[in-house]
Amino acid sequence: MKTKTFDCVEMKRRGATRIHEAIKDFTFEEKVAYWEKRSREYQEVVQERRATRSEGPAEESGLRPK
C-alpha cells in the first residue's frame, strides 16, 4: 500500500479555514474589498511569472500558448 506524503484536500481545508477565520467578522463590503485586493495581488504574481518565464522548446515549437 502506498503511503500518502501530501493530502491536497486537507491542505485546501486548512487554507479555507484560515481565510474564514480572517474574514468571518467582516462586513459584506469588507469581504468584497478583501477579495478584490487578493485578486489584484494574484494577478501581479501571474504577470511577474509570465514575464520571467524562460523561452524553451515548448514555446519555440508552438506547443505552449503564449
Which tops the pLDDT comparison, 4 or 38? 38
Domain contains 45: yes
SS3 29: helix
Check residue 58 and give its pLDDT. 57
Nearest Cα to Cα of residue 64 among 47, 55, 43, 52: 55
Domain contains 64: no
Structural domains counted in the chain: 1
Determine the Cα–Cα distance for residues 29 and 19; give it in Å rounded to an integer: 16
Check residue 66 and give its pLDDT. 55
Per-residue pLDDT band for 50 (boundaries 50, 70, 90) equals: very high
Question: What domain range is 41 assigned to?
Answer: 18-49
Domain contains 4: no
CB 18 within 8 A of CB 25: no
Check residue 60 and give its pLDDT. 55
| 62 Ramachandran zone, left/alpha/beta (phi>0; psi -120 to 50) | left
